Amino acid sequence: MSQPLVTALLRGLDVLRCFTEQKKVLGSSEIARLTKLPQPTVWRLCQTLVKAGYLTVEPGDAGFRLGVAVLTLGFAAISALDIADLVRADLQEIASTFKAAAGLTTRERLRMICLQRFEAPNAMLTVNWRIGSMVPIANSGVGWAYLSGLPGRERDALIEEMSRADPELWRKVEKAYATAMKGFAKTGYVVNADVLYPGLTTVATSVLRPADGRLFVLNCTVLSAVTSADKVHREIGPAMRTATDRLRTAMARGVAG
């Protein structure tokens, strides 16, 4: 059975692929020639991509150029690979040891996006979170760990942005977030129990990549009903700290960057 396709999305990606190192600025007629799409269709696609930030308009309507949004996506996809390779063994071991899911995430606007995920064959979880899945920063363990790794002013600015975007959500989780931050100050990891997904506990840590100052988050998610708070703090938290310390050391030595 064939999979459903979103034709407009595929056409939009074809438009973006027209831009190369040699063809940094293109007009709609040139894009139409390269994609073999009707020029009115190309014009509508380009205007949509401009609105989303994936294309910009050159001064004097001289053509289009790739926007920051598409460059950011490309950078995130490429630059995350080294870190993913370095932390893979630790995440696999953590998932297996604690009958859990373990993963690597980073920020995408006001959400956290999953870059890598491992799940033990006998993991007892109620949510299937895959690579590419996203959760809000505001109420997720990975989001809180991301916030914990930011300098104070950047953290405050991001919290302000989140509270403006969804004030009701932030009001609901603000107290739990504050409690988690107090715990982080003592332990070096964030615990989010039953806040994002009832029945699930996430333990998360953040690590800063020296090469570009980008924050990544490692996480382990377990079923709350079968994982005591004592086990979280005696076993899972220290395992997450160890994995993060190893990754931090590897990056400091220039292995990933």
In a domain, 110, yes or no: yes
Task: Name residues whose C-beta falls within 8 Å of residue 37's C-beta, 6 or more positions apart in sequence.
Answer: 11, 14, 31, 45
Do 138 and 234 fall within a single domain? Answer: yes
CATH of the domain at 24: 1.10.10.10
Q: Which structure tokens are listed for 3?
A: 């999979």
Do 37 and 149 fall within a single domain? Answer: no
Per-residue model confidence as pLDDT tens digits over 120-173: 988 878 777 888 888 999 999 999 999 999 999 999 999 999 999 999 999 999
CB 120, CB 95: distance < 8 Å = yes
Do 26 and 100 fall within a single domain? Answer: no
In a domain, 73, yes or no: no
Residue 78 has pLDDT above 60, yes or no: no
Cα separation, 157 vs 60, whole angstroms? 35
DSSP the chain: -PPP--HHHHHHHHHHHT--SS-SEE-HHHHHHHHT--HHHHHHHHHHHHHHTSEEEPGGG--EEE-HHHHHHHHHHHHHHHHHHHHHHHHHHHHHHTTSEEEEEEEETTEEEEEEEEE-TT---S----TT-EEETTT-HHHHHHHHTS-HHHHHHHHHHHHHH-HHHHHHHHHHHHHHHHHHHHHSSEEEESSSSTTEEEEEEEEEETTTTEEEEEEEEEEGGGS-HHHIIIIIHHHHHHHHHHHHHHHHTTS--
CATH of the domain at 201: 3.30.450.40
Share of the chain above pLDDT 90, in %: 69
What is the extent of the structural domain holding 118? 78-252
Do 92 and 116 fall within a single domain? Answer: yes
Do 128 and 29 fall within a single domain? Answer: no
Sign of the dihedral defined by the CA atoms of residues 24, 29, 33, 39, in that order: positive
Domain count, the chain: 2
In a domain, 72, yes or no: no
Do 84 and 172 fall within a single domain? Answer: yes
Do 51 and 115 fall within a single domain? Answer: no
Do 153 and 174 fall within a single domain? Answer: yes
Do 156 and 231 fall within a single domain? Answer: yes
**Residue appearing with tokens 């109420």:** 139
State residue 253's pLDDT score. Answer: 77
Residue 234 has pLDDT above 70, yes or no: yes
In a domain, 2, yes or no: no
Do 103 and 221 fall within a single domain? Answer: yes
State residue 5's pLDDT score. Answer: 73
Do 55 and 88 fall within a single domain? Answer: no
Q: For residue 105, what pLDDT band results from cuts at 50, 70 and 90?
A: very high
Q: For residue 233, what pLDDT band results from cuts at 50, 70 and 90?
A: very high
Do 55 and 96 fall within a single domain? Answer: no
In a domain, 170, yes or no: yes
State residue 81's pLDDT score. Answer: 62
In a domain, 257, yes or no: no
In a domain, 112, yes or no: yes
In a domain, 137, yes or no: yes
